[in-house]
Structure 1
Amino acid sequence: MENDPLRQQIATVKQSLLDEGTVEPHFFHLEQLQSPEDPNFLERAIGLLYTDSMKVTNDMERLLENQPVDFAAIIRLVQQLRGMSASLGAQKVKERVLALLGNCEQGHVERSKASLQVLKLELGTLKARLDPYFQLVRQARPANGAGGGPP
């Protein structure tokens, strides 16, 4: 019974993440699919999304500084980010990626640079919002660490 307030807090944070559009319901569906052998799968996947995304966005920044700008190369990187964010249910990141893609497809250098900065901020926000959630989920797990999904 001691976990009831913690479980309530987790439910509240989940609803907040959905309400603010940080993640889609797909995110929590993936969480339910975690196995007892790998209860931190989604947390690690989000960590990889963040790390890989920062590398990709840094590459895009460099490409946007070249003259002429190689939009085809940038679009390939944006498509990569789109797939990563969509597969994990990171809704706001996916929206920012689509905005960047549109600006790149239209060949707008300055708009692409601005969209890229907004995307980087959103990636940081995703990490900042999900890290406390994952911490709560870890706290609510049984002492033996078993259990695939959230409590």
Structure 2
Amino acid sequence: MGKTVRGQWHREILSSPSLSLSPMGGWQRNKGWSHSVTFTRMERNPLQRQVAYMRRSLFDQGYLDEQFVQLEDLQDDANPNFVEEIVTLFYTDSARLIHNIEQALESRPLDFIRLDDYMHQFKGSSSSIGAKKVKNECTQFREHCSARSAEGCVRTFQQVKQEHTILRRKLETYFQLARQAGLAN
């Protein structure tokens, strides 16, 4: 079986980095990364355009990186909701890690090795779905663990949780809109 319409749509966007739809509705040449937005006739309805722009903004604002694109490339007719399922698994697993880190931050004295181990897992999970901002905050947290800075760990952990929550909301909205636009099936 071939890729779904959504898979074809993403591949067309990715394979044409030199063209995008300008704000005025015409085509424009791009200099930049391969997540520029292009449309074929099938993607010209307003809802599908909104999905494409939302997806692009997740990259432009630094929430996602190329790993997310690699996940999208694995999605096909046999597993049309693959990306959403992987992201859901990430959020299930990360809830456990957040709980473990919160408990470790409450214990005294702080066990920086254990905190670093938990955050290493969190960073790996974040990286596997392309959660760029979350991954970057995890890196900062681990640097505070290496420096044995309790204050830095607590402060940065709040940032990790904030970026985690923001991305979750954005991806939930994105997946919901994609389903409404008929791109997930």
Point out where structure 1 has 5 or more consecutive residues left out of the alignment.
Answer: 147-151
How far is the alpha carbon of 1:28 from its aligned partner? 2.4
Q: Report the equivalent of 1:102.
A: 143
Root mean square deviation, CA, Å: 1.8
- Unaligned residue ranges in structure 2 (runs of 5+): 1-41
Report the Cα distance in structure 1 between the residues aligned to 2:89 and 2:146, rounded to whole angstroms. 27
Partner of 2:69: 28
What does residue 153 of structure 2 align with? 112
One-letter amino acid of the structure 2 residue matched with residue 126 of structure 1: L
SS at match of 2:102: helix
The 8 Å contact of residues 99 and 115 in structure 1, kept in 2 or not, is answered as: yes
Letter matched to residue 145 of structure 2:
C
Would the aligned equivalents of 1:93 and 1:122 in 2 still touch at CA under 8 Å? Answer: yes
TM-score, normalised to structure 2, is: 0.72
Q: Do the aligned partners of 1:22 and 1:90 also contact (CA within 8 Å) in 2?
A: yes
**Superposed displacement of residue 111, structure 1:** 1.1
Residue in 1 aligned with 2:174? 133
Per-residue deviation at 1:141?
Answer: 2.7
Partner of 2:14: none
* Identity across the alignment (%): 37
Per-residue deviation at 1:131? 0.7
Match of 2:83 in 1: 42
CA contact (8 A) 1:24 1:90 kept: yes
Q: Within the alignment, does 1:73 sit opposite 2:114 as a pair?
A: yes
Which whole-Å deviations, capped at 9, do the CAs of 1:105-134 have from their partners, x for residues lacking one?
A: 111111101111111111100111111111
Name the CA shift for 1:7/1:32 in 2 (closer, same or farther; >3 Å). Answer: farther
**Structure 1 residue 60, shift from structure 2 partner:** 1.0
Answering whether residue 51 of structure 2 is matched by residue 10 of structure 1, we say yes
For the residues of structure 1 that align with 2:74 and 2:92, how far apart are their CA atoms? 23
CA distance in structure 1 between the partners assigned to 2:161 and 2:115 by the alignment = 15
Does the CA-based 8 Å contact 1:61-1:113 persist in structure 2? Answer: no
Runs (4 or more) in structure 1 with deviation over 4 Å come to: none
Contact kept in structure 2, 1:78 and 1:101, CA below 8 Å = yes
Taking CA–CA contacts closer than 8 Å with sequence separation of 6 or more, which of the two structures ends up with the larger relative contact order?
Answer: 1
Q: 1:19 and 2:19 equivalent? A: no
TM-fit CA distance, 1:52: 1.6
Query: Which one has a larger percent helix, Structure 1 or Structure 2?
Result: 1
How far residue 63 of structure 1 moved from its aligned partner, in angstroms, is 1.0
Query: Which one has a bigger Cα radius of gyration?
Result: 2
CA distance in 1, matches of 2:43, 2:73: 22
